[in-house]
Amino acid sequence: MRASIYLPLVRRDLTLATRTPSQWINPLLFFLIAVSLFPLGVGPDPNRLSEIAAGVIWVAALLATMLSQDSLFRTDFEDGCLEQMLTSPHPVILIVAAKVSAHWLLTGLPLILLSPLLAVLMGLSFEGWRALFFTLMLGTPILSLLGALGAALVVSVNRGGVLLSLLVLPLCIPVLIFSTTAVQTASVGLPIEGHLSLLGALLALSITLAPVAIAGALSVTGGGN
């Protein structure tokens, strides 16, 4: 069955990640260090920290996600595995979905699990942390999908990390705006259903369109070494 390639490919990428842990540990360390430095820089005042917490955490999450995106397809491209995947009978979209899922499990999910610690560190209220949790749940998959699109476009470019950032960061601005606004709104006791609905719509749009675009980009840029 063609669909059977999805779970084996996810397990393959997770297993490979355990052999090179720096690829997913370094972004998490960057995320923790970047957020932890702000209380030292602006002072321990909880009111001031809670005001900037949403922006700080989300910008750090965005940059941490970008750190691991360049290698999403590059390793398979360099050793020829990507070409074999693209020429296999399995749907390219399914292969893309598996690799993006593995990336989110290694980067997005740990960021969500760290959110309670960061909420305490930045002085967020329970309502603010709850909003942060929901925005990370909806927003980090979008970041993985958009980052995968950029990675597919620059997979054949040596040292394409800067180009990847230039391509992806502008696309992530709506996610950043809606997420930070949701956390700030929840912190003052106002409803955030509208913000979450917008993020949900962006996630649905990304899940629908991004895999097709990534598959098309890989067929052009990743078809051979």
Per-residue pLDDT of the chain (225 residues; tens, 9 = 90+): 455 788 889 998 898 888 877 778 888 899 989 888 888 887 777 788 888 888 899 999 998 888 888 778 888 888 778 888 888 888 889 889 999 999 999 999 999 998 888 888 888 888 989 999 999 999 999 999 999 998 888 887 776 667 788 888 899 999 999 999 999 999 888 999 999 999 999 999 999 999 999 988 888 775 544
For helices 126-153 and 193-221, the axis angle rounded to 10 degrees is 20
pTM above the 0.75 mark?
A: yes
Of 45, 57, 47, nearest in space to 140 by CA: 57
Q: Read off the DSSP letter of residue 2.
A: G
Rounded distance, CA 152 to CA 218, Å? 5
Helix locations, the chain, DSSP H: 6-19, 22-42, 46-67, 71-78, 81-87, 92-106, 108-121, 126-153, 161-187, 193-221
User: Residue 159: its pLDDT value, please?
Assistant: 65
**The two structure tokens encoding residue 192:** 């955030």
Q: Which domain holds residue 106?
A: 2-221
Rounded to a whole number of angstroms, the distance between the first and last alpha carbons of the chain is: 29
Domains in the chain: how many in total? 1
Rounded distance, CA 223 to CA 225, Å? 7
24 within 8 A of 75, measured Cβ to Cβ: no
